[in-house]
Amino acid sequence: MPAFEKLQRSPAAMRAMIEELVLDPVKSLPEVLERQLQRQQQVSIAALGWEDLARLDRLLLLGIAEGRQQFYETKYRLWLAEQTGSQSISASQIQSSFKKMQRNRVIAQLANQWALLHKSTRG
């Protein structure tokens, strides 16, 4: 279950990992898990480019990069509204933005914190 969590609950990634273990039983679980995580990183941000992100998404990514932990507090949501030219930003808008970026492998939630996913090389 911890390996499944690390793979962002991806059945396809888990299946690939299991197949690799079955085909080469000499390999250890941590070794195969690390290789699968590296594969996932290599394709991260492939679905969404910076220019595809909404202003709110970009501001939230900046917050993650700066190490922000509190994304839903009123003061921060007022600042986000000001920066986006909106009257207000709701907690559900922030949550939707996070879900979209997580689904598109731009960010991941690791140890109860949001983290940016990086590609090791850009093609």
For residue range 42-100, what is the model confidence (pLDDT) as tens digits? 555 445 667 778 899 999 999 998 989 899 999 999 999 999 999 999 999 999 999 98
- CB contact at 8 A, 61 and 55: no
CB atoms within 10 A of CB 101: 24
Q: Buried (b) or exposed (e) across 63-94, using 16+ Cβ within 10 A? A: bbeeeeeebeeeebbeebbeebeeeebeeebb
- CB contact at 8 A, 44 and 118: yes
pLDDT in tens, 107-116: 888 888 898 8
